[in-house]
Amino acid sequence: MITLGTQRHVALADGAEGGFVECLTRLAAGPDTIKGAVWIDDESGARLYEVAGPVAVIGVRGGLFDYLPFHGAEWATGYNCIRLAVDAARRDPAISVIALAINSPGGLVSGCFELVEWLRDVAGEIPLFAVVDGLCASAAYAIASACTAGISAPQTAAVGSIGVYRLHMDLSKYLEKSGIVVTAVKSGKWKTSGAPFAPLGQEVEADWQATVDAYRALFAEQVAAGRALSPADVLATEARLYDGPIGIREALDLGLIDGILPPDEAFARILEQAAVPA
Confidence class of residue 17 from pLDDT cuts 50, 70 and 90? very low
Average pLDDT of every residue of the chain: 88
Q: How many CA atoms lie within 13 A of 264 on its CB side?
A: 0
The structure's pTM equals 0.88
Is the dihedral angle over the CA atoms 189, 174, 183, 4 positive or is it negative? negative
Degrees to nearest 5, angle at CA 260 with 103 and 243: 55
Give the DSSP H or E segment for 71.
strand 70-71
- For 233-258, write each residue's pLDDT tens digit: 999 999 999 999 999 999 999 999 99
Rounded CA-CA distance 115/224 in Å is 15
| pLDDT surpassing 80 at residue 67 | yes
Share of the chain above pLDDT 90, in %: 77
Rounded CA-CA distance 205/251 in Å is 32
CB 86 within 8 A of CB 44: no
Which of 36-40, 195-199, 220-224, 248-252 comes out lowest in average pLDDT? 36-40
Distances in Å between the Cα of 118 and the Cα atoms of 49, 111, 139, 259 are 18, 11, 15, 24
Q: Which residues contact 259 (CB under 8 A, 6 or more apart)?
A: 150, 151, 152, 153, 252, 266
Rounded CA-CA distance 191/202 in Å is 16
Q: What is the pLDDT of residue 163?
A: 95
Q: What is the pLDDT of residue 7?
A: 43
Distances in Å between the Cα of 60 and the Cα atoms of 67, 95, 173, 227, 257 are 13, 19, 40, 19, 17
CB 157 within 8 A of CB 130: no
Confidence class of residue 5 from pLDDT cuts 50, 70 and 90? very low
Greater model confidence, 41 or 55: 55
| Residue 200 Cα to chain centre, angstroms | 27
- For 27-51, write each residue's pLDDT tens digit: 555 555 566 677 777 655 678 899 9
Could you give all domains of the chain from N- to C-terminal order, each with its CATH number?
Answer: 2-275 (3.90.226.10)
